[in-house]
Amino acid sequence: MGKLFGLKQWVTVAAAARQISLVCDEEATEADVLQLALDGHLKLSVDFVNHAKARMGKIVPEDEAPTYMGSLSQQEIISGIDLSDGTVLVLDDQTVTIEGIWDLFMKGSERLDVEHAYHRLTDGPAVELQCLNGAFVTRPDGSICQLQDHFEDKGSDGSLNRRFYYPASGLPPDSVFVVRTKALIEFEQAINGVPSNIEKPLSATERNTLLVMIAALCKKSNIAHQDRTSASEVARLIDDIGSSVSDETIRKALKQIPDALARRGK
């Protein structure tokens, strides 16, 4: 890979096709890039050129998802989006603005957008399927959100009374498919049989499990993780094993323990 490529955090789909051609020693097209993404061999991303509206969320195990009582069925109903893999996406109420490069989750309308683009490039049929759950994007830090669209309620004088948001049917029309250079490096490593040394972010379940383990170890060491002095006490224990972690980093982790315990409580 060239020096210029190494300096870029992302490239266009056309540039990704050229890079894959070099890696595979055979011609690859933009359609090939999209097909590799659809088949799960390459992570595809999107650049929100003019920003986008979204509701942030977090993925939790199905048995930890919040519920509400159905008015008709009088049964508990999961409050969130079932991802059909034993987990649920729980969304915040607030709508926020997102920008920059985000990765496609490939489980909602964003996948249909990729399929539509693929068939357009290959003179295939139009994709007429719809996904009621909307479109989802993620980031390497574990952030995930559902894209939002809106309609406006205006008064008789044309002034805006309120803007109502709802799940977008797909990616914004002014967004652009791109590929992170890191994703291309991982693809090349997979092609060449080289194990990737890029660590994946912890899932919500893994993070909660580690926090519960920390809470148990604190209790065993007679450290009250809620106390202000707990971070320095944990730091001393870490020093005893020949390592070091800042008090601020420890404090941030300890603050997450009550929420993790509540989720894993029986």
| Domain residue limits at 260 | 204-264
For the cut 90, the answer to whether the pLDDT of residue 7 exceeds it is: no
159 and 226: one domain?
Answer: no
Q: SS3 of 98, please?
A: strand
Residue 196 lies in a domain: no
Residue 96 lies in a domain: yes
End-of-domain residue from the set 191, 219, 248: 191
Query: Can you tell me the mean pLDDT for 11-30?
Result: 94
Query: Can you tell me the mean pLDDT for 65-80?
Result: 79
End-of-domain residue from the set 162, 191, 220: 191
End-of-domain residue from the set 191, 214, 238: 191
Q: Is 84 exposed, middle or buried (0-12, 13-18, 19+ CB in 10 A)?
A: exposed
pLDDT above 70 covers a percentage of the chain that reads 92
Instruction: State pTM to two decimals.
Output: 0.69
Residue 97 lies in a domain: yes
170 and 55: one domain?
Answer: yes
Query: Can you tell me the mean pLDDT for 71-94?
Result: 84
148-186 pLDDT, tens per residue?
Answer: 998 877 767 767 667 799 999 999 999 999 999 999 999
Residue 62 lies in a domain: yes
Q: SS3 of 218, please?
A: helix
For the cut 80, the answer to whether the pLDDT of residue 8 exceeds it is: yes
51 and 181: one domain?
Answer: yes
Residue 54 binned pLDDT confidence (cut-offs 50, 70, 90): very high
Q: How many structural domains does the chain have? A: 2
Contact 60, 88 (CB under 8 A): yes
| Residues β-bridged to residue 88 | 60, 82
User: Which pLDDT score is estimated for 206?
Assistant: 82
72 and 174: one domain?
Answer: yes
Residue 199 lies in a domain: no
185 and 208: one domain?
Answer: no
136 and 159: one domain?
Answer: yes
Secondary structure tally for the chain: helices H, strands E: 9, 11
pLDDT above 90 covers a percentage of the chain that reads 47
Residue 32 lies in a domain: yes
187-227 pLDDT, tens per residue?
Answer: 999 988 755 555 566 677 788 888 889 989 998 889 998 88
166 and 216: one domain?
Answer: no
User: Which pLDDT score is estimated for 1?
Assistant: 59
186 and 209: one domain?
Answer: no
How far are the Cα atoms of 21, 96, 187, 192 from residue 195, in angstroms, in the given order?
Answer: 21, 37, 10, 9
Higher pLDDT, 4 or 53: 53
140 and 177: one domain?
Answer: yes
Rg (CA), the chain: 23
